[in-house]
Each structure stands twice: as structure tokens, then as C-alpha cells.
Amino acid sequence: MRALIPGVAGMSAMGYRKFLVWNVLGALTWAPTMVIVGYLAGNSYRVIEKWLGRAGMLIAVAVIVGLVVWRSISSRRQRGAGADETSSQSMITQDRSSGHERNGPPPATGTSP
């Protein structure tokens, strides 16, 4: 699972320093945990290996699903905010005679459609 994380971090545009800090903290946590679990498991390491493999896959799937959901929600928010800005910008026009901003449609030019 630790081999997949750099790819996910890159796809989510995580900064290198932030990734490095969290990767080092993860490694410093992961390695001693695996050593302690292996030591405590003793001769039944195959059972622990099986459970850790399943847990790792579940965690990886949960992380990937979470990132996909987070990414889609944030992109929808950005698109929604962008649409609101452009519609409000199109409603504000500049009155050529006074040089002031004016809300609403542009003034009539005197010609009929």
C-alpha cells in the first residue's frame, strides 16, 4: 500500500514538502508497528500477514474512494463558484456616459431588433 501513496499524492497535486513530511511520519510509524506486530505474532505470522493484507486493501480502497469523492465535490464547488462569478460580472456593465458601474442590462442603443 505504501507504494501507491506517492501516485495518489501526485494526482491530488500535493506539494512535495507536505508529502515528504507525511511520508516520513508514516514510515516512522509503519515500520516499528510492523516489527512489533511480527514479534508479538511469533510463529503465527501467516495469520497476521493475511489480516494485514486484507486491512491494507480495505484502507487503500477507502482512501481512493475518499479522494475521488473529495475531488469531485471540490471541482463541483469550483465550477459553481465560477458560474456565479461570470453571471454576476455579465450583469454589471459600465455606463459610458458617466463612467460608473451600473447593475442590470446594458442601456438601449435606440435601434429596434
Distance of alpha carbon 1 from alpha carbon 75, whole angstroms? 27
Any domain includes 34:
yes
Secondary structure (3-state) at 103: strand
Question: What is the tally of structural domains in the chain?
Answer: 1
The answer to whether the Cα torsion of 13, 17, 18, 20 is positive or negative is positive
Distance of alpha carbon 101 from alpha carbon 94, whole angstroms? 4
Q: Which residue has the cell 500500500?
A: 1
pLDDT in tens, the chain (113 residues): 567 777 778 887 888 888 889 888 988 998 898 888 878 877 777 777 777 778 877 887 888 898 899 888 988 888 877 655 555 555 554 545 555 555 555 556 655 55
Any domain includes 35:
yes
Domain that holds residue 46: 1-75
Distance of alpha carbon 24 from alpha carbon 18, whole angstroms? 10
Any domain includes 32:
yes
